[in-house]
Amino acid sequence: MSVFQRARMRRALAQCAPITDKPSVDRATRSAVQRTRQGKRAPEFALQEGFDRAVALLVQTIPVAPEVAEWFANENLVPVAKRSWRSFAFNPAVLAVAFAVAVITGIFGYRVHEHMRDFPDAANARKLLTVASSTRSVLLDPVKTDAGALGDFFFMKHQLDHYDVPPKFASFRTLGCRVFDDDEVRRVAQIWVTEKHMQFFLFPAEKNPKDGRVQNFSGWKFVEQEGWTGAVKQENGICFMVAVSGTEGDLAPYLKKAER
Amino acid sequence: MTGDAAKAQDVFQATVREAAMRAARGDAASDRLWFFRDARGRCLRAMEEDLQAEALELDEREISPSAPARIARLDAEQLAIWISAAPEPQRSALAFYYIDEFAPREMLSLLEMKVPELARLVASARRQFQAWLDATIPHEEEA
Protein backbone atom coordinates (compact mmCIF):
# COMPACT_ATOMS: atom_id res chain seq x y z
CA MET A 1 0.00 0.00 0.00
CA SER A 2 1.48 3.37 -1.05
CA VAL A 3 1.73 6.41 1.24
CA PHE A 4 -1.25 8.03 -0.53
CA GLN A 5 -3.37 4.90 -0.25
CA ARG A 6 -2.54 4.65 3.45
CA ALA A 7 -3.48 8.31 3.99
CA ARG A 8 -6.78 7.77 2.13
CA MET A 9 -7.51 4.67 4.22
CA ARG A 10 -6.74 6.56 7.45
CA ARG A 11 -9.12 9.32 6.39
CA ALA A 12 -11.84 6.80 5.53
CA LEU A 13 -11.41 5.03 8.88
CA ALA A 14 -11.64 8.37 10.70
CA GLN A 15 -14.83 9.21 8.80
CA CYS A 16 -16.54 6.11 10.15
CA ALA A 17 -14.75 6.13 13.54
CA PRO A 18 -16.65 4.44 16.39
CA ILE A 19 -18.77 6.95 18.31
CA THR A 20 -17.74 5.54 21.70
CA ASP A 21 -14.66 3.51 22.66
CA LYS A 22 -15.14 -0.21 22.24
CA PRO A 23 -12.70 -3.01 23.13
CA SER A 24 -13.34 -4.76 19.82
CA VAL A 25 -12.14 -1.83 17.67
CA ASP A 26 -9.23 -2.87 15.48
CA ARG A 27 -5.75 -1.37 15.71
CA ALA A 28 -5.90 0.36 12.31
CA THR A 29 -9.02 2.29 13.30
CA ARG A 30 -7.63 3.23 16.72
CA SER A 31 -4.43 4.49 15.11
CA ALA A 32 -6.34 6.44 12.40
CA VAL A 33 -8.52 8.12 15.05
CA GLN A 34 -5.51 8.98 17.19
CA ARG A 35 -3.60 10.49 14.26
CA THR A 36 -6.60 12.47 13.07
CA ARG A 37 -7.16 13.89 16.58
CA GLN A 38 -3.56 15.13 16.58
CA GLY A 39 -3.37 16.16 12.91
CA LYS A 40 -4.45 19.10 10.75
CA ARG A 41 -8.02 17.82 10.52
CA ALA A 42 -8.45 17.80 14.31
CA PRO A 43 -11.03 20.69 14.44
CA GLU A 44 -13.08 19.13 11.63
CA PHE A 45 -12.86 15.73 13.35
CA ALA A 46 -13.96 17.23 16.69
CA LEU A 47 -17.08 18.59 14.95
CA GLN A 48 -17.74 15.15 13.46
CA GLU A 49 -17.37 13.47 16.86
CA GLY A 50 -19.73 15.98 18.50
CA PHE A 51 -22.26 15.50 15.70
CA ASP A 52 -22.10 11.70 15.92
CA ARG A 53 -22.41 11.68 19.71
CA ALA A 54 -25.49 13.88 19.51
CA VAL A 55 -27.12 11.63 16.91
CA ALA A 56 -26.24 8.46 18.86
CA LEU A 57 -27.72 10.01 22.01
CA LEU A 58 -30.90 10.76 20.13
CA VAL A 59 -31.01 7.20 18.77
CA GLN A 60 -30.86 5.89 22.35
CA THR A 61 -34.07 7.77 23.07
CA ILE A 62 -35.99 6.00 20.28
CA PRO A 63 -38.72 4.13 22.17
CA VAL A 64 -38.50 0.35 22.05
CA ALA A 65 -41.61 -1.79 22.46
CA PRO A 66 -41.63 -3.49 25.91
CA GLU A 67 -41.98 -6.97 24.37
CA VAL A 68 -38.81 -6.32 22.33
CA ALA A 69 -36.93 -4.68 25.21
CA GLU A 70 -37.45 -7.64 27.54
CA TRP A 71 -35.36 -9.80 25.21
CA PHE A 72 -32.37 -7.63 25.94
CA ALA A 73 -33.03 -6.96 29.63
CA ASN A 74 -30.15 -9.10 30.86
CA GLU A 75 -27.89 -9.19 27.82
CA ASN A 76 -25.78 -6.92 25.72
CA LEU A 77 -27.17 -6.18 22.30
CA VAL A 78 -24.04 -7.48 20.61
CA PRO A 79 -22.04 -10.07 22.55
CA VAL A 80 -18.37 -9.14 22.80
CA ALA A 81 -16.24 -11.40 20.65
CA LYS A 82 -13.60 -13.28 22.61
CA ARG A 83 -10.07 -12.51 21.49
CA SER A 84 -8.65 -15.54 19.75
CA TRP A 85 -5.20 -16.88 20.68
CA ARG A 86 -4.13 -15.96 17.14
CA SER A 87 -4.96 -12.25 17.49
CA PHE A 88 -3.24 -12.29 20.90
CA ALA A 89 -0.13 -14.01 19.54
CA PHE A 90 0.18 -11.68 16.55
CA ASN A 91 -0.11 -8.53 18.63
CA PRO A 92 3.11 -6.54 17.91
CA ALA A 93 3.76 -5.99 21.62
CA VAL A 94 3.50 -9.73 22.35
CA LEU A 95 5.67 -10.53 19.32
CA ALA A 96 8.32 -8.03 20.45
CA VAL A 97 8.39 -9.45 23.99
CA ALA A 98 8.52 -13.03 22.68
CA PHE A 99 11.36 -12.13 20.32
CA ALA A 100 13.30 -10.38 23.11
CA VAL A 101 12.83 -13.35 25.46
CA ALA A 102 13.96 -15.74 22.71
CA VAL A 103 17.11 -13.68 22.06
CA ILE A 104 17.94 -13.40 25.78
CA THR A 105 17.34 -17.15 26.25
CA GLY A 106 19.51 -17.89 23.23
CA ILE A 107 22.39 -15.77 24.51
CA PHE A 108 22.02 -17.21 28.02
CA GLY A 109 21.96 -20.77 26.64
CA TYR A 110 24.98 -20.09 24.47
CA ARG A 111 26.93 -18.67 27.44
CA VAL A 112 25.97 -21.62 29.66
CA HIS A 113 26.94 -24.07 26.91
CA GLU A 114 30.22 -22.24 26.41
CA HIS A 115 31.03 -22.31 30.15
CA MET A 116 30.08 -25.97 30.47
CA ARG A 117 32.79 -26.74 27.96
CA ASP A 118 35.31 -24.44 29.61
CA PHE A 119 38.52 -25.73 31.14
CA PRO A 120 41.32 -23.98 33.11
CA ASP A 121 43.29 -22.77 30.05
CA ALA A 122 40.32 -21.91 27.83
CA ALA A 123 40.82 -18.14 28.07
CA ASN A 124 44.49 -18.38 27.06
CA ALA A 125 43.63 -20.79 24.26
CA ARG A 126 41.02 -18.37 22.88
CA LYS A 127 43.52 -15.55 22.99
CA LEU A 128 46.01 -17.64 21.02
CA LEU A 129 43.34 -18.47 18.43
CA THR A 130 43.06 -14.71 17.85
CA VAL A 131 46.86 -14.68 17.36
CA ALA A 132 46.52 -17.61 14.92
CA SER A 133 43.89 -15.81 12.84
CA SER A 134 46.08 -12.68 12.50
CA THR A 135 49.48 -14.32 12.02
CA ARG A 136 51.15 -14.05 8.61
CA SER A 137 53.88 -16.48 7.59
CA VAL A 138 56.46 -13.68 7.31
CA LEU A 139 56.30 -13.17 11.07
CA LEU A 140 57.75 -16.64 11.69
CA ASP A 141 61.30 -17.82 11.24
CA PRO A 142 61.28 -20.19 8.27
CA VAL A 143 62.04 -23.71 9.46
CA LYS A 144 61.39 -26.73 7.29
CA THR A 145 61.53 -29.84 9.42
CA ASP A 146 59.30 -32.26 11.33
CA ALA A 147 57.25 -30.60 14.09
CA GLY A 148 58.57 -33.16 16.60
CA ALA A 149 62.13 -31.94 16.07
CA LEU A 150 61.30 -28.45 17.33
CA GLY A 151 61.05 -29.57 21.01
CA ASP A 152 64.85 -29.75 21.24
CA PHE A 153 65.18 -26.48 19.33
CA PHE A 154 62.92 -24.66 21.85
CA PHE A 155 64.86 -26.16 24.74
CA MET A 156 68.30 -25.42 23.31
CA LYS A 157 67.61 -21.91 22.06
CA HIS A 158 64.93 -20.61 24.44
CA GLN A 159 65.32 -22.88 27.51
CA LEU A 160 61.71 -24.00 27.17
CA ASP A 161 61.38 -27.31 28.97
CA HIS A 162 58.66 -29.81 27.93
CA TYR A 163 57.60 -27.69 24.93
CA ASP A 164 57.18 -30.93 22.96
CA VAL A 165 54.74 -31.60 20.12
CA PRO A 166 52.71 -34.78 20.90
CA PRO A 167 54.10 -37.82 18.99
CA LYS A 168 51.09 -38.14 16.64
CA PHE A 169 51.56 -34.58 15.39
CA ALA A 170 55.35 -34.88 15.39
CA SER A 171 55.60 -35.99 11.76
CA PHE A 172 53.82 -32.90 10.35
CA ARG A 173 56.12 -30.77 8.17
CA THR A 174 56.72 -27.24 9.40
CA LEU A 175 56.89 -23.94 7.49
CA GLY A 176 58.12 -21.79 10.33
CA CYS A 177 58.09 -21.13 14.04
CA ARG A 178 58.66 -18.45 16.64
CA VAL A 179 58.69 -17.91 20.39
CA PHE A 180 57.09 -14.83 21.86
CA ASP A 181 56.10 -13.44 25.25
CA ASP A 182 52.55 -12.62 26.18
CA ASP A 183 51.57 -10.73 29.34
CA GLU A 184 48.93 -13.28 30.36
CA VAL A 185 49.91 -16.50 28.59
CA ARG A 186 53.67 -15.94 29.17
CA ARG A 187 56.12 -17.76 26.85
CA VAL A 188 54.42 -19.14 23.78
CA ALA A 189 55.90 -21.28 21.02
CA GLN A 190 54.05 -21.06 17.70
CA ILE A 191 54.58 -23.51 14.82
CA TRP A 192 53.09 -23.26 11.34
CA VAL A 193 52.73 -26.60 9.52
CA THR A 194 52.00 -27.36 5.87
CA GLU A 195 49.05 -29.66 6.62
CA LYS A 196 45.85 -27.64 6.10
CA HIS A 197 47.72 -24.48 7.26
CA MET A 198 47.38 -25.64 10.83
CA GLN A 199 49.18 -23.91 13.65
CA PHE A 200 50.48 -25.47 16.83
CA PHE A 201 50.85 -23.56 20.07
CA LEU A 202 52.77 -24.62 23.16
CA PHE A 203 52.25 -22.57 26.31
CA PRO A 204 52.46 -23.01 30.09
CA ALA A 205 49.32 -24.38 31.78
CA GLU A 206 47.53 -22.03 34.13
CA LYS A 207 48.38 -22.30 37.83
CA ASN A 208 45.98 -22.08 40.73
CA PRO A 209 46.63 -18.63 42.28
CA LYS A 210 46.03 -20.05 45.79
CA ASP A 211 48.55 -22.86 45.86
CA GLY A 212 50.55 -22.26 42.68
CA ARG A 213 49.78 -25.76 41.37
CA VAL A 214 48.98 -26.46 37.72
CA GLN A 215 45.25 -26.92 37.13
CA ASN A 216 45.12 -30.27 35.39
CA PHE A 217 42.61 -31.54 32.87
CA SER A 218 42.63 -34.67 30.79
CA GLY A 219 41.92 -35.41 27.14
CA TRP A 220 41.30 -32.97 24.28
CA LYS A 221 39.29 -29.82 24.97
CA PHE A 222 37.88 -27.55 22.28
CA VAL A 223 37.71 -23.80 22.00
CA GLU A 224 36.34 -21.57 19.22
CA GLN A 225 37.13 -17.98 18.33
CA GLU A 226 36.66 -15.88 15.19
CA GLY A 227 36.09 -18.87 12.91
CA TRP A 228 39.05 -20.77 14.28
CA THR A 229 38.88 -23.94 16.35
CA GLY A 230 41.51 -25.24 18.70
CA ALA A 231 41.96 -28.60 20.40
CA VAL A 232 43.98 -28.36 23.61
CA LYS A 233 45.77 -31.06 25.58
CA GLN A 234 47.88 -30.69 28.70
CA GLU A 235 50.99 -32.68 29.56
CA ASN A 236 53.80 -31.99 32.04
CA GLY A 237 52.38 -28.55 32.86
CA ILE A 238 52.53 -27.46 29.21
CA CYS A 239 49.48 -27.08 26.97
CA PHE A 240 49.61 -28.09 23.34
CA MET A 241 46.98 -26.58 21.04
CA VAL A 242 46.38 -27.50 17.43
CA ALA A 243 44.49 -24.67 15.71
CA VAL A 244 42.72 -24.71 12.38
CA SER A 245 40.53 -22.28 10.50
CA GLY A 246 37.22 -24.18 10.57
CA THR A 247 35.12 -26.26 12.90
CA GLU A 248 35.58 -29.14 15.30
CA GLY A 249 34.77 -31.46 12.39
CA ASP A 250 37.94 -30.34 10.58
CA LEU A 251 40.08 -31.36 13.54
CA ALA A 252 38.30 -34.59 14.44
CA PRO A 253 40.12 -36.89 11.96
CA TYR A 254 43.53 -35.72 13.22
CA LEU A 255 42.58 -36.20 16.87
CA LYS A 256 41.25 -39.71 16.22
CA LYS A 257 44.54 -40.46 14.50
CA ALA A 258 46.33 -38.99 17.50
CA GLU A 259 44.39 -41.12 19.96
CA ARG A 260 45.13 -44.38 18.16
CA MET B 1 -34.70 0.62 8.94
CA THR B 2 -38.42 0.35 8.07
CA GLY B 3 -39.76 3.75 9.15
CA ASP B 4 -42.66 1.90 10.75
CA ALA B 5 -42.55 0.58 14.34
CA ALA B 6 -45.13 -2.16 13.70
CA LYS B 7 -43.26 -3.42 10.66
CA ALA B 8 -39.98 -3.35 12.64
CA GLN B 9 -41.60 -5.39 15.40
CA ASP B 10 -42.84 -7.97 12.86
CA VAL B 11 -39.30 -8.27 11.52
CA PHE B 12 -37.92 -8.66 15.02
CA GLN B 13 -40.44 -11.38 15.90
CA ALA B 14 -39.80 -13.23 12.64
CA THR B 15 -36.05 -13.19 13.36
CA VAL B 16 -36.54 -14.42 16.92
CA ARG B 17 -38.84 -17.18 15.63
CA GLU B 18 -36.28 -18.24 13.03
CA ALA B 19 -33.54 -18.27 15.69
CA ALA B 20 -35.71 -20.40 18.00
CA MET B 21 -36.51 -22.86 15.19
CA ARG B 22 -32.88 -23.19 14.25
CA ALA B 23 -31.94 -23.76 17.89
CA ALA B 24 -34.66 -26.44 18.18
CA ARG B 25 -33.23 -28.18 15.09
CA GLY B 26 -29.80 -28.07 16.74
CA ASP B 27 -28.67 -25.71 13.98
CA ALA B 28 -28.04 -22.57 16.03
CA ALA B 29 -26.04 -19.99 14.11
CA SER B 30 -22.38 -19.83 15.04
CA ASP B 31 -22.12 -16.28 13.66
CA ARG B 32 -22.60 -13.89 16.59
CA LEU B 33 -23.96 -11.25 14.16
CA TRP B 34 -26.48 -13.65 12.62
CA PHE B 35 -29.41 -11.97 14.39
CA PHE B 36 -28.60 -8.58 12.83
CA ARG B 37 -27.83 -10.03 9.41
CA ASP B 38 -31.15 -11.86 9.36
CA ALA B 39 -33.12 -8.84 10.64
CA ARG B 40 -31.54 -6.57 8.05
CA GLY B 41 -32.39 -9.02 5.26
CA ARG B 42 -36.01 -9.15 6.42
CA CYS B 43 -36.18 -5.34 6.66
CA LEU B 44 -34.89 -4.99 3.11
CA ARG B 45 -37.42 -7.51 1.81
CA ALA B 46 -40.21 -5.73 3.70
CA MET B 47 -39.15 -2.37 2.26
CA GLU B 48 -39.06 -3.74 -1.30
CA GLU B 49 -42.82 -4.32 -1.09
CA ASP B 50 -43.42 -0.67 -0.13
CA LEU B 51 -43.51 2.37 -2.34
CA GLN B 52 -40.00 3.31 -3.33
CA ALA B 53 -38.78 6.87 -2.82
CA GLU B 54 -37.50 8.67 -5.88
CA ALA B 55 -33.74 9.04 -6.03
CA LEU B 56 -33.00 12.65 -5.16
CA GLU B 57 -29.80 14.64 -5.09
CA LEU B 58 -29.94 15.96 -1.52
CA ASP B 59 -28.40 19.25 -0.51
CA GLU B 60 -25.22 18.93 1.55
CA ARG B 61 -23.67 21.33 4.09
CA GLU B 62 -20.50 21.20 6.19
CA ILE B 63 -21.08 20.23 9.82
CA SER B 64 -21.78 23.26 11.95
CA PRO B 65 -20.46 23.68 15.52
CA SER B 66 -24.04 24.26 16.66
CA ALA B 67 -25.24 20.93 15.22
CA PRO B 68 -25.12 18.90 18.50
CA ALA B 69 -27.32 21.45 20.28
CA ARG B 70 -29.78 21.48 17.40
CA ILE B 71 -29.87 17.69 17.19
CA ALA B 72 -30.65 17.53 20.92
CA ARG B 73 -33.80 19.54 20.23
CA LEU B 74 -35.01 17.02 17.65
CA ASP B 75 -37.60 14.37 18.22
CA ALA B 76 -36.26 10.78 18.03
CA GLU B 77 -39.01 10.02 15.52
CA GLN B 78 -37.83 12.79 13.21
CA LEU B 79 -34.39 11.18 13.09
CA ALA B 80 -35.86 7.70 12.60
CA ILE B 81 -37.94 8.94 9.67
CA TRP B 82 -34.95 10.72 8.14
CA ILE B 83 -32.80 7.58 8.33
CA SER B 84 -35.53 5.27 7.06
CA ALA B 85 -35.97 7.56 4.04
CA ALA B 86 -32.33 7.20 3.03
CA PRO B 87 -31.61 4.91 0.06
CA GLU B 88 -30.03 1.49 0.56
CA PRO B 89 -27.28 0.74 1.49
CA GLN B 90 -26.92 4.17 3.15
CA ARG B 91 -29.95 3.51 5.37
CA SER B 92 -28.49 0.26 6.72
CA ALA B 93 -25.08 1.91 7.16
CA LEU B 94 -26.62 4.75 9.20
CA ALA B 95 -28.74 2.38 11.26
CA PHE B 96 -25.79 0.17 12.17
CA TYR B 97 -23.45 3.14 12.68
CA TYR B 98 -25.65 5.27 14.96
CA ILE B 99 -26.93 2.37 17.03
CA ASP B 100 -23.30 2.51 18.33
CA GLU B 101 -23.00 -1.15 19.21
CA PHE B 102 -20.73 -2.38 16.44
CA ALA B 103 -17.01 -2.10 15.77
CA PRO B 104 -16.16 -0.92 12.21
CA ARG B 105 -15.11 -4.43 11.18
CA GLU B 106 -18.48 -5.84 12.30
CA MET B 107 -20.35 -3.15 10.38
CA LEU B 108 -18.37 -3.91 7.24
CA SER B 109 -19.21 -7.58 7.64
CA LEU B 110 -22.93 -6.88 8.15
CA LEU B 111 -23.13 -4.44 5.26
CA GLU B 112 -20.82 -6.45 3.00
CA MET B 113 -18.87 -3.39 1.97
CA LYS B 114 -15.37 -1.93 2.21
CA VAL B 115 -14.14 0.90 4.45
CA PRO B 116 -14.07 3.65 1.77
CA GLU B 117 -17.69 2.95 0.79
CA LEU B 118 -18.93 2.98 4.39
CA ALA B 119 -16.93 6.17 5.05
CA ARG B 120 -18.40 7.85 1.96
CA LEU B 121 -21.98 6.89 2.88
CA VAL B 122 -21.68 8.04 6.50
CA ALA B 123 -19.82 11.27 5.64
CA SER B 124 -22.31 12.26 2.95
CA ALA B 125 -25.22 11.43 5.31
CA ARG B 126 -23.75 13.79 7.93
CA ARG B 127 -23.61 16.64 5.43
CA GLN B 128 -27.13 15.89 4.15
CA PHE B 129 -28.45 15.72 7.69
CA GLN B 130 -26.75 19.05 8.44
CA ALA B 131 -28.50 20.58 5.40
CA TRP B 132 -31.79 19.10 6.59
CA LEU B 133 -31.13 20.49 10.09
CA ASP B 134 -30.44 23.95 8.62
CA ALA B 135 -33.75 23.74 6.81
CA THR B 136 -35.71 22.31 9.75
CA ILE B 137 -34.23 24.31 12.61
CA PRO B 138 -33.07 27.59 11.07
CA HIS B 139 -30.27 29.57 12.71
CA GLU B 140 -32.55 32.29 14.05
CA GLU B 141 -34.35 29.66 16.12
CA GLU B 142 -31.14 28.86 17.95
CA ALA B 143 -30.32 30.32 21.35
C-beta atoms surrounding A118 within 10 Å: 13
pLDDT winner (highest mean) among A81-90, A163-172, A247-256, B59-68:
A163-172
Q: Tens digits of per-residue pLDDT, A8-58?
A: 888 888 888 888 887 778 888 888 888 888 888 889 899 999 999 999 988
Which residue from B16, B67, B105 is facing A54, i.e. has the nearest CB? B67
On chain B, the residues whose CB falls within 8 A of the CB of A53 are 68
On chain B, the residues whose CB falls within 8 A of the CB of A30 are none
> Predicted confidence band at A75 (pLDDT cuts at 50, 70, 90)?
low
Which residues on chain A place their C-beta less than 8 Å from a C-beta of chain B?
A: 8-9, 11-13, 15-20, 22, 24-26, 29, 44, 47-48, 50-59, 61-63, 65, 67-68, 71, 76-79, 81
The reply to whether residue B130 touches residue A25, judged by beta carbons under 8 angstroms, is: no
* Angle CA A155–A156–A160, to nearest 5: 25
Q: Tens digits of per-residue pLDDT, A165-191?
A: 999 899 999 999 999 998 887 899 999
Nearest-angstrom CA–CA distance, A14 and B123: 10
pLDDT of residue A188: 93
pLDDT of residue B61: 85
The reply to whether residue B65 touches residue A77, judged by beta carbons under 8 angstroms, is: no
Q: What ipTM was assigned to the predicted interfaces of this complex? A: 0.85
pLDDT of residue A17: 87
The model carries a pTM of 0.55
H-type helices in A16-160, by residue range? 27-38, 42-60, 66-69, 85-89, 92-116, 122-134, 150-158
Nearest-angstrom CA–CA distance, A245 and A134: 11
pLDDT of residue A86: 80
The reply to whether residue A9 touches residue B79, judged by beta carbons under 8 angstroms, is: no
Which residue from A17, A55, A79 is facing B98, i.e. has the nearest CB? A55
The reply to whether residue B65 touches residue A68, judged by beta carbons under 8 angstroms, is: no
Q: Tens digits of per-residue pLDDT, A215-246?
A: 788 888 898 888 999 999 998 889 999 999 99
On chain B, the residues whose CB falls within 8 A of the CB of A54 are 67-69, 71-72
In 3D space, the residue among B104, B84, B106, B109 whose CA is nearest the CA of residue B94 turns out to be: B84
Q: Tens digits of per-residue pLDDT, A135-171?
A: 887 788 899 999 999 999 999 998 898 899 999 899 9
> Predicted confidence band at A201 (pLDDT cuts at 50, 70, 90)?
very high
Angle between helices B90-98 and A42-60 (to 10 degrees): 80
Q: Tens digits of per-residue pLDDT, B60-99?
A: 888 888 888 888 888 888 888 888 888 888 889 998 899 8
> Predicted confidence band at A76 (pLDDT cuts at 50, 70, 90)?
low
Q: Give A22 to chain B, closest Cα distance, Å.
A: 7
